């Protein structure tokens, strides 16, 4: 079995900005995602038999979505500011269409549908536990960063990724890069 997901990679030029944003939210109880691993998840597939990787890659090549420009801006949280589990960067562009196309082409594999409405985002940190001083610090950081703008980039492809969990954090490997139509 291999742990997999489908993503849009962020450009290298944004990694330094991501790192500086994360430095502002370095509080106890928050586990930061390494800047070089931050990406936009379109769909988390979870554990799949390795034999399914090729059929999934083939299905993903059937996506009907043209390349588009996207913007990464704003910092938000899931599920809500008073109970933070995930801190993320917002992503704007044709992600709803791209996500629905991923769902459409993968329908036959019967993956779990994502709960709720899809929100295009890049995870910056996960919360283990925040004490009261960390919560108030995070509230200030979130207020300061709500209007942060990392800029635009062209979304020309999606990637089918393998994720290997290790004690030092996940290791991502690209199984297939699927170009979007021009």
> Looking at 64, 121, 137, 181, which residue is catalytic?
121
Give CA–CA dist 77/55, Å, rounded: 34
Closest CA to 161 of 10, 13, 44, 35: 44
Tell me whether the omega of the peptide bond preceding residue 175 falls within 30 degrees of 0, making it cis: no
Closest CA to 146 of 65, 97, 81: 81
Give CA–CA dist 8/105, Å, rounded: 17
User: Is the separation of the CB atoms in 11 and 161 below 8 Å?
Assistant: no
For residue 112, count other CB atoms closer than 10 A to its CB. 9
> Dihedral of CA 114/116/117/123: which sign?
negative
Q: Is 64 a catalytic residue?
A: no
Q: CA dist 156 to 19, 21, 29, 42, 147, Å?
A: 24, 26, 36, 14, 26
Q: Is 39 a catalytic residue?
A: yes
Q: Catalytic amino acids? A: 39, 121
């Amino acid at each position: 079995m291999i742990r997999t997901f489908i993503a849009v990679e962020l450009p290298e030029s944004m990694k330094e900005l991501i790192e500086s944003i994360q430095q502002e939210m370095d509080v106890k109880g928050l586990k930061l995602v390494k800047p070089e691993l931050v990406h936009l998840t379109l769909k988390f597939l979870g554990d799949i038999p390795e034999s399914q990787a090729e059929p999934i890659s083939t299905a993903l090549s059937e996506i009907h979505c043209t390349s588009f420009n996207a913007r990464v801006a704003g910092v938000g949280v899931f599920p809500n500011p008073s109970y933070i589990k995930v801190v993320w960067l917002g992503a704007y562009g044709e992600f709803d269409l791209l996500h629905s196309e991923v769902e459409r082409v993968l329908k036959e594999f019967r993956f779990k549908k994502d709960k709720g409405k899809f929100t295009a985002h890049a995870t910056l940190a996960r919360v283990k536990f925040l004490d009261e001083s960390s919560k108030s610090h995070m509230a200030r950081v979130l207020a300061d960063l709500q209007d942060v703008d990392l800029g635009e980039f062209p979304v020309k492809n999606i990637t089918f990724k393998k994720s290997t969990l290790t004690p030092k954090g996940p290791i991502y490997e690209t199984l297939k890069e699927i170009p979007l139509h021009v």
